[in-house]
């Protein structure tokens, strides 16, 4: 599926942007250089007639993205949260991609529900509405459980969505391979690995049983969070292609006029969105990775309600500590420490100069420190950050893609609520609390206990492992070492133990 036939899909993509008039508008919004504009025009104009027409009632960019399919719509959703990058008008136009796409019929939705649950819809739901929201992957219906009378939200996947996504992903793989071939310098960005990561995320999003599990875990993690709600999963009414949650009643977070009319403080909401994301990422290592306005509501009492858990991010404890130290270093304006953390974590090649990297980071941090969001050009900032990563040979870290993407989206959402938000000031208490909890004597004691528990599980086998290691060592001294893919188990165990101790000592220091 990833052969040259995908050239047709890529040509049609460019032709669709040209035919709908979206090409020029998007390049203008992104302030693309003149050379790129000329190249896009030369390559797109001859094939314009091959492009998809789309819905002429939609603005050009929205029209093109919806015509091209779900993978492109995902890209548009991210841009819709960044008016500082694409402009207010385009960001507003793209908000329809969050939950206002053309729906499929309620009859198809009911047929899917019956197929998944093996019972007639009328026997399970006393009410089942027309679609109330429709996005790239699925649409939502408001329903009422027949046995309890409870209002619920029933999410149903779009028909044939799996095949549509696979076609797009195959074309993306082909494009990534072409980019790597034509531009060897792009290989540090690992285009194919990025697409592979995206494919894994999408496959998880297309199985609503996994989304139900994510919603359940997220609710358990956040049960004690003030002014935050997660709807409960109705497991008896959920399957692979549909799921049921408790109904979330509230004002959409993207409707500022409605929020103001309801008396909600948008400044408080903007702070809360950013702080909750950081808290979930750092404290739990499990966060909502699709936190655009279409997936958030505000309850009558001011609580923030999150839903749509198809894309969730997970980061391990070590990465959380690295991330927190980097954020804390920027907050404290300690750019040398930020640079050192990047080197310690392996984000920057060891042969680069740490002082030079610290200077580059200072050029990133100082212009935006203490300035509210209205005074920061995110487009210019991202452009300079890209230059820094190229200069210091930084490779794409696929394990951080969701975290970085979500941070961009969440910061955009917070800006939309309060254009003057100061992200450093808002983030500081969350990051400081995490630093206190995760780096210090108490944290060391917790880690030591966990390490001892692991060692204890191997206790009965330690004599045997030590004997095996010694025998192998004596054999190695007699015979020349043979090429092998393994190492003595005892050395692996002892090495891991000493490495762990060294890590925690370095953390304390």
How far is it, in rounded angstroms, from Cα 78 to Cα 80? 5
Please choose, from the candidates 67, 66, 68, 250, the residue with its C-alpha nearest in 3D space to the C-alpha of residue 80. 66
For strands 228-229 and 304-306, give the pairing: parallel
Alpha carbon distances (Å) from 296 to 98, 290, 305:
11, 10, 6
Contact yes or no for 372/417 (Cβ under 8 A): no
Query: Alpha helices, DSSP H only, in 333-400?
Result: 335-344, 354-365, 378-391
How far is it, in rounded angstroms, from Cα 379 to Cα 439? 34
Please choose, from the candidates 143, 141, 137, the residue with its C-alpha nearest in 3D space to the C-alpha of residue 105. 141
Active site residue 290: yes
Neighbouring residues of 495: CB distance < 8 A, sequence distance ≥ 6: none
Q: Which listed residue (99, 168, 170, 290) is catalytic? A: 290
Contact yes or no for 281/430 (Cβ under 8 A): no
How far is it, in rounded angstroms, from Cα 395 to Cα 373? 28
User: DSSP per residue over 400-432, as a string?
Assistant: GHHHHHHHHHHHHHHHHH-TT--HHHHHHHHHH
How far is it, in rounded angstroms, from Cα 16 to Cα 67? 8
Please choose, from the candidates 131, 197, 147, the residue with its C-alpha nearest in 3D space to the C-alpha of residue 169. 197
- The distance from CA 302 to its chain's CA centroid, rounded to whole angstroms, is 26
Neighbouring residues of 356: CB distance < 8 A, sequence distance ≥ 6: 392
By annotation, the residues acting in catalysis are 290
């Amino acid at each position: 599926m990833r052969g040259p036939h995908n050239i047709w899909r890529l040509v049609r993509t460019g032709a669709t942007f040209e035919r709908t008039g979206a090409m020029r508008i998007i390049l203008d919004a992104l302030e693309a250089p003149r050379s790129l504009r000329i190249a896009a025009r030369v390559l797109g104009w001859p094939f314009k007639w091959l492009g998809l027409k789309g819905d002429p009632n939609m603005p050009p960019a929205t029209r093109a993205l919806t015509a091209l399919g779900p993978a492109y719509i995902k890209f548009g959703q991210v841009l819709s949260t960044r008016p500082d990058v694409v402009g207010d008008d385009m960001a507003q136009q793209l908000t329809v991609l969050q939950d206002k796409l053309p729906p499929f019929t309620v009859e198809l939705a009911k047929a899917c529900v019956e197929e998944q649950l093996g019972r007639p819809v009328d026997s399970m739901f006393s009410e089942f509405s027309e679609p109330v929201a429709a996005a790239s992957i699925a649409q939502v219906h408001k329903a009422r459980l027949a046995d309890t009378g409870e209002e619920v939200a029933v999410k149903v996947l779009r028909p044939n969505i799996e095949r549509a996504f696979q076609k797009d992903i195959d074309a993306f793989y082909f494009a990534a391979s072409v980019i790597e071939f034509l531009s060897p310098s792009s290989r540090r960005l690992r285009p194919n690995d990025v697409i592979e990561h995206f494919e894994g995320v999408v496959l998880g999003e297309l199985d609503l049983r996994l989304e139900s599990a994510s919603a359940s875990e997220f609710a358990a993690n956040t049960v004690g969070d003030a002014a935050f709600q997660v709807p409960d999963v109705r497991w008896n009414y959920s399957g692979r292609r549909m799921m049921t949650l408790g109904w979330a009643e509230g004002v959409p977070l993207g409707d500022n006029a409605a929020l103001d009319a309801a008396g909600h403080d948008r400044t408080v909401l903007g702070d809360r969105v950013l702080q909750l994301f950081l808290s979930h990422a750092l404290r739990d290592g499990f966060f909502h990775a699709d936190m655009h306005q279409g997936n958030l509501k505000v309850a009558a009492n001011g609580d923030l309600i999150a839903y749509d858990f198809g894309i969730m991010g997970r980061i391990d404890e070590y990465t959380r500590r690295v991330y927190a130290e980097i954020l804390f270093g920027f907050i404290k304006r300690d750019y040398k420490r930020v640079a050192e953390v990047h080197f310690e974590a392996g984000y920057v090649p060891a042969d680069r100069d740490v002082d030079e990297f610290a200077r580059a980071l200072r050029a990133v941090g100082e212009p935006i420190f203490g300035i509210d969001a209205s005074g920061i050009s995110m487009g210019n900032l991202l452009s300079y950050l890209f230059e820094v990563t190229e200069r210091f040979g930084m490779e794409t870290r696929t394990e951080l893609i969701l975290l970085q993407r979500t941070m961009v989206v969440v910061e955009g959402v917070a800006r939309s609520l309060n254009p003057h938000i100061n992200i450093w000031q808002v983030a500081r208490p969350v990051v400081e609390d995490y630093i206190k909890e995760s780096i210090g004597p108490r944290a060391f004691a917790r880690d030591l206990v966990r390490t001892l528990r692991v060692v204890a599980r191997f206790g009965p086998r330690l004599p045997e492992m030590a004997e095996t290691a010694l025998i192998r060592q004596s054999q190695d001294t007699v015979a020349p070492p043979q090429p092998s893919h393994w190492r003595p188990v005892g050395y692996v165990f002892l090495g891991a133990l000493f490495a762990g101790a060294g890590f925690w000592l370095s953390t304390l220091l």
